Amino acid sequence: MIGTEQGTILSCNRKGKTQADKLGPNTFNGHHGPVYSVQRNPFFSKYFLSVGDWTARMWFEDFKFTPLFSTFYHKSYLTSGAWHPVRPGVFFTTRMDGHLDFWDLMLRQSTPALSVQVSDYALHTAKPTSEGKHIAVGGIDGNVTLLELSPSLYTCMPDEKFNIGQLLENQSIRDKNLDRAVKEKRTAARQRQRRSTVLNEQRGIEPLEDLGKVAEEYRSAVESERKRDTEERVEVESYRQKLLEDIGEGVEFEADC
């Protein structure tokens, strides 16, 4: 796994023969800034932790669109993250304000199980020992602090591995189902839009033909009315001229009663 300065996480294959094979098909748009730490879960290799900007996020390798879990946005930058070597649901994160956070997914996912201020300076790395009872923390001031953990942080709970595996699997299935539902809705919306476009085009052709027919009938009616009016005017004018001629010749007219 490789984290970039642009916040992207790449899944790479060292055995790939070509550059494309080495980079792999999956690209995760993980963070708003540089990715400082990427580490696979030692018990479930398809799940990995990434740290960058103000959050730590957990991903499923086969689902690249959204993280399974994400911490809240801290007030200071997160600088590194590491899984506990013994407990599959515990990981650590360090911050720029000198705090070390302990996250326990068996306990809760929204807030750290424990937060300790190790230094007044920014912490840049954290590394637990192989048995998980101690953790070394390095700061920007060059000091390394070795912390001893309480038994509750390094002692595995009954069926913890199974429960964490179920938790991660259920969350990944849920996210896949949600993504599938969103894709189906988008597909249905596109189909409705295409059908609507076709209907509008068909409706658009028929009214144009009807409008042309109506316009032609209107023009014919106007022309007929104009012709009739012209004929009546000619007839009236002819009758008027005849009357004037008769009057000029002194013809008397009897009014009809």
The Cβ of residue 9 has, within 10 Å, a number of other Cβ atoms equal to 22
Residue 125, pLDDT score: 94
Average pLDDT of 201-227? 69
Q: What is the side-by-side strand order in the sheet with 69-70?
A: 35-40, 47-52, 55-60, 69-70
pLDDT band at 232 (very low <50, low <70, confident <90, very high): confident
Cβ atoms of 50 and 56 within 8 Å: the answer is yes
pLDDT band at 41 (very low <50, low <70, confident <90, very high): very high
Cβ atoms of 85 and 42 within 8 Å: the answer is yes
SS3 43: coil
Residues 6+ apart with CB under 8 A from 246: 253
pLDDT band at 246 (very low <50, low <70, confident <90, very high): low
% of the chain with per-residue pLDDT over 90: 38
Residue 153 to residue 6: CA distance in whole angstroms = 34
In angstroms, the first-to-last Cα distance of the chain is: 117
Residue 254 in this model has a pLDDT that exceeds 50: no
Residue 256 in this model has a pLDDT that exceeds 50: no
Cβ atoms of 4 and 34 within 8 Å: the answer is yes
Instruction: List, for residues 86-119, the tens digit of each pLDDT value.
Output: 999 999 999 999 999 999 998 888 899 999 999 9
CATH number of the domain located at residue range(s) 2-174 in this protein:
2.130.10.10
Residue 202, pLDDT score: 62
Q: Which residue has the higher pLDDT, 165 or 14?
A: 165
Residue 95, pLDDT score: 95
Residue 227, pLDDT score: 82
187 phi and psi angles, rounded to 5 deg? -65, -45
Q: Which residue has the higher pLDDT, 120 or 203?
A: 120
Strand ranges for the chain from DSSP E: 2-3, 8-10, 27-29, 35-40, 47-52, 55-60, 69-70, 78-83, 90-95, 99-104, 114-117, 123-128, 134-139, 144-148
Residue-wise burial string across 106-123, b where 16 or more C-beta atoms lie within 10 A, e elsewhere = beebeebeeeeebbeebb
Cβ atoms of 134 and 110 within 8 Å: the answer is no
Cβ atoms of 125 and 141 within 8 Å: the answer is no
Q: Match 């599938």 to its residue by tokens.
A: 180
Instruction: List, for residues 214-223, the tens digit of each pLDDT value.
Output: 777 878 887 8
pLDDT band at 210 (very low <50, low <70, confident <90, very high): low
